[in-house]
A = this chain, B = another copy of it.
Amino acid sequence: MRNFTFSIPTTIHFGKGQISHLSELRQSGTKALLVYGGGSIKRNGIYDEALRILGEAGVQVSELSGVEPNPRIQTVRRGVEMCKSEGIDMVLAIGGGSTIDCAKVVAAGAKYDGDAWDLVLDRTKIKDALPIYSVLTLSATGSEMDSAAVISDMTKNEKWGTAAECLKPTMSVLDPTYTFSVSRRQTAAGTADMMSHTFENYFTKEQGADVQLRFCEALLRTMIKNGPIALAEPDNYEARANLMWAASHAINGLVSEGSADPWCVHPMEHELSAFYDITHGEGLAILTPVWMDYVLSVKTVSAFATYGRNVWGLVGSDDWSIAHDAIAKTSEFFFKTMGLPANLRAVGITSDEHFEVMAEKAARRTINAYVPLDKDDVVNIFRAAM
């Protein structure tokens, strides 16, 4: 196990009705910037309920709405400007990971003198942030409990992740009933996203981290069990609750600290989203089995066999056979059980014209991964995913 520092400063209020805890925002001041996406939180009543609780607590609210599914730096800049001009004390995101990510960089930008895009390109420039709160409405990214945010500048086809300790939310409300109305497509994509986070942490050069590896398997089994239930019964509380709580733990440090290598599939997917604005979870699902096949080797077969045995319950003594079956199971789960698009063509990427430039950018990060991938490797994976 590698040396690490473990810190989860986020208080989670989990369960039905926990939105009442929004009154705790009053501890951070009296002026909140409410950040959200489209109108869904108005249709399902969360918006009215939040405003009522904040009003009773004596918290005034300004609003930054229209956050995009791949949140744009232009929206972040609008939010930063509001924070600075209105003397905002804290940021409250109500939505999924995109909304929370946007709110995080707004909160950091409010404490930074330059352009917020600097903070996306260079995480070391994030020194401070307004307190961040969230009410989660989609189980996927884990942004409600982690230090990271992903922001895009589509005018430049750029999508990058940034992170800082001060971007970890102060408090998040996780009410599974808020995800009952999440569509089949977004439920499937969210499940793929949280599984990908777990895979990124699970496959590592570190050999000694039993706690973290066994926790990864626990999360994957939970996701594989409950994803299909949530598709079949969108208002199944237990399925939604387990997906929600598993997604948070996949990325809050629990299964990465002391063990994980730099991520690999995410940097590749970020290029797909940056150039084609596709749904992040769908891009991850498409790339994951292709990546698994590509990196399977005499060096990695034991890890993939362990995955097959401990997650899929596969039995047998031949590691190669178990590893291949485990990858096939992964594909089957994503593309048949969860109904996710199975290749790049299915999400509208029908040409390889940008693959070289996309791969060059992705390889800046993938070159340090579990199995290092250079530009050519990434191009190969993109092509195999078409």
Q: Per-residue 0/1 for A236-280: is the Cβ within 8 Å of any B Cβ (1 yes, 0 no)?
A: 011001100110010000100110000000000000000000000
Tell yes or no: A17 within 8 A of B by CB: yes
Residues in B with CB closer than 8 Å to A210 are 221-222, 225-226, 238, 242, 246
Task: State in angstroms the CA–CA spacing of A258 and B7 once bound together.
Answer: 21
Residues in B with CB closer than 8 Å to A208 are 237-238, 241-242
Task: State in angstroms the CA–CA spacing of A28 and B208 once bound together.
Answer: 35
Interface centre among A3, A17, A214, A217 (most CB of B within 10 A): A214
Residues in B with CB closer than 8 Å to A241 are 1, 208, 258
How many chain A residues sit at the interface, stated as a range, is 35 or more
Q: Per-residue 0/1 for A199-224: is the Cβ within 8 Å of any B Cβ (1 yes, 0 no)?
A: 00000000111110011011101100
Residue in chain B with minimal CB distance to A246: B211
Tell yes or no: A321 within 8 A of B by CB: no
**Given A219-B214, A241-B1, are A6 and B11 also a contact pair (CB < 8 Å)?**
yes
A299 to chain B, nearest CB (A): 20
Q: Per-residue 0/1 for A1-15: is the Cβ within 8 Å of any B Cβ (1 yes, 0 no)?
A: 111111111011111
- Say yes or no: B245 contacts A258, CB within 8 Å: yes
Interface centre among A13, A14, A18, A246 (most CB of B within 10 A): A14
Residue in chain B with minimal CB distance to A7: B11
A16 to chain B, nearest CB (A): 7
Checking B9, B14, B217 against A3 with a beta-carbon cut-off of 8 angstroms, the contacting residue is B14
A336 to chain B, nearest CB (A): 22
**Given A208-B238, A222-B214, are A14 and B18 also a contact pair (CB < 8 Å)?**
no
Interface centre among A221, A237, A249, A257 (most CB of B within 10 A): A221
Residues in B with CB closer than 8 Å to A222 are 210-211, 214
- Say yes or no: A219 contacts B211, CB within 8 Å: yes
Task: State in angstroms the CA–CA spacing of A17 and B3 once bound together.
Answer: 9
Residues in B with CB closer than 8 Å to A242 are 1, 208-211
A237 to chain B, nearest CB (A): 8
Residues in B with CB closer than 8 Å to A11 are 5-7
**Given A208-B238, A214-B222, A241-B208, are A7 and B3 also a contact pair (CB < 8 Å)?**
no
Residues in B with CB closer than 8 Å to A9 are 9
Pairs across A and B, CB under 8 Å, 26 listed: A1-B15, A1-B176, A1-B238, A2-B15, A3-B14, A3-B17, A5-B11, A5-B13, A6-B11, A6-B12, A6-B14, A7-B12, A14-B257, A207-B238, A208-B241, A210-B222, A210-B226, A211-B222, A211-B246, A211-B249, A214-B221, A215-B215, A215-B218, A217-B218, A218-B218, A241-B258
Supplied contacts A3-B14, A207-B238, A210-B225, 5 more A-B pairs, CB within 8 Å: A1-B237, A5-B13, A210-B226, A211-B246, A215-B218
List residues of chain A with CB under 8 Å of any chain B CB: 1-9, 11-18, 176, 207-211, 214-215, 217-219, 221-222, 225-226, 237-238, 241-242, 245-246, 249, 254, 257-258
Sorted from nearest, which 3 A-B pairs have the closest CB atoms?
A: A3-B15, A214-B218, A208-B238
